[in-house]
Chain A
Amino acid sequence: MLLGLARFFGRQIAVALTYTGMGFPPVVIGLVVYLLLSRNGILGQANLPFIPQLFTPGAMIFAQSIIAVPLVAGFTMAAVLAVDAQLIQQIRSLGATPWQTAVTVLSEARVGVIIAVVAAFGRIIAEVGAVMLVGGNIEGRTRVLTTAIVLETGKGNFDLAIALGIILLSMAFVVNFVMLRLQGKNEG
Chain B
Amino acid sequence: MKEKAEGGNQKAEITPHASPVQPLYQLEGIKQVYNGRSVLEIDELTIHSGEILALVGPSGVGKSTLLRLLNFLEPPTEGTVTFRGHPFDGKQEMPLTNRRRVTTVFQRPFLLNRSVEANVKYGLKLRGQRDGKLQVEQALKQVGLLDLAEQKAKTLSGGEAQRVALARAIVIQPEVLLLDEPTANLDPANVALIEEIIRSLNQQQATTMVLVTHNIFQAKRLAHRVAFLLEGKIVETAVTEQFFTSPQDPRTAAFVGGEMVY
Q: Does A40 contact B (CB under 8 A)?
A: no
B34 CB to closest chain A CB (Å) equals 14
Q: Report the number of A-B residue pairs with Cβ-Cβ less than 8 Å.
A: 45
Q: Which of A59-108 contact B (CB under 8 A)?
A: 84, 86-87, 89-90, 92-97, 100, 104, 107-108
Q: Which B residues lie within 8 Å of A188 (CB)? A: 152
Residues of B within 8 A of A (CB): 68, 71, 73, 96, 99-100, 102-104, 106, 108, 110, 112-113, 122-123, 126-127, 152, 168-169, 172, 178
CA distance A94 to B108 in the complex (A): 15
**CB-defined contacts of A89 to chain B, threshold 8 Å:** 68, 73, 106
User: By DSSP majority rule, is chain B's interface helix, strand, loop, or mixed?
Assistant: mixed
Shortest Cβ-Cβ A-B pairs, 9 listed: A95-B100, A90-B110, A93-B104, A94-B123, A87-B110, A93-B71, A95-B126, A96-B126, A93-B103
Give A107 to B110 CA distance when docked, in angstroms: 15
B residues less than 8 Å from A104 (CB atoms): 112, 122
- Additional A-B contacts beyond A90-B104, A94-B103 (6; CB < 8 A): A90-B106, A93-B71, A93-B73, A94-B122, A95-B96, A95-B126
CA distance in complex: A107, B126 (Å): 14
Within 8 A of B (CB), among A134-188: 187-188
Residues of chain A at the chain B interface (Cβ within 8 Å): 84, 86-87, 89-90, 92-97, 100, 104, 107-108, 187-188
A94 to B164, CA, bound (A): 14
* B residues in contact with A108, CB < 8 Å: 112-113
Contact at B96–A86, with CB atoms within 8 Å? no
Q: List 12 A-B contacts (CB under 8 A).
A: A89-B73, A89-B106, A93-B71, A93-B104, A94-B103, A94-B169, A95-B99, A95-B127, A96-B126, A100-B126, A108-B112, A188-B152
CB-CB under 8 A from B112, the residues of chain A are 87, 104, 107-108
Smallest CB separation, A53 vs chain B (Å): 45
Q: A100 — which chain B residues lie within 8 A by C-beta?
A: 126
Asked whether, in the complex, the Cβ of B110 is within 8 Å of the Cβ of A95, the reply is no
Q: For B110, give its contact among A84, A96, A97, A187 (CB under 8 Å).
A: A84
For residue B132, give the distance in angstroms from its CB to the closest CB of chain A: 14
- Minimum CB distance partner of B106 in chain A: A90
Query: Hey, which chain A residues are within 8 Å of B100, CB to CB?
Result: 95
Closest chain B residue to A95, Cβ basis: B100
